[in-house]
Amino acid sequence: MTMGNESPVAWSDALEKDFDKAFVALDLLLGEIDSDQVEITYEGRQKMTSLSGSFAQLMHKAQSMHHALSRYEKVSSHGYSPWIVSHFSSSKVDG
């Protein structure tokens, strides 16, 4: 997957789709492990849960940063005073 000239929304949707496909494929692969190796399946699924949560947090942070950057660009392009731009740029990103 390449980001190229795609909008952040388009590439984040594509990235989420790729992640979901890989997640399902890995889950199916774990399902093929012999029943006498249940520990491996259980541990693998725990790791997948952790990975999924981390990915969701990462996507949320990326979207929050994109929105903050968009707001900053809008404020700075309208020629507002340097104090407003400085104050806005030092504000914390949501999340």
What is the reported pLDDT for 85?
58
Q: Looking at the domain assignment, is residue 94 inside a domain? A: no
Q: Looking at the domain assignment, is residue 32 inside a domain? A: yes
C-alpha of 74 from chain center: 23
Total domains present in the chain = 1
Convert the pLDDT of each residue in 14-44 to its tens digit.
999 999 999 999 999 999 999 899 999 999 9
Q: Looking at the domain assignment, is residue 75 inside a domain? A: yes
> What SS3 state is found at 61?
helix
Q: Looking at the domain assignment, is residue 2 inside a domain? A: no
Q: Looking at the domain assignment, is residue 50 inside a domain? A: yes
What is the reported pLDDT for 40?
93
Residue numbers of the domain that contains 17: 8-89
DSSP state of 11: H
What is the reported pLDDT for 2?
52
Is the backbone of residue 4 left (phi > 0), alpha (psi -120 to 50) or beta?
left
pLDDT at 90 over 60: yes
- Match 């949560």 to its residue by tokens: 53
Q: Looking at the domain assignment, is residue 82 inside a domain? A: yes
DSSP state of 94: P
Q: Looking at the domain assignment, is residue 71 inside a domain? A: yes
Q: Looking at the domain assignment, is residue 72 inside a domain? A: yes
Question: 68 Cβ partners below 8 Å, 6+ apart?
Answer: 91, 93, 94
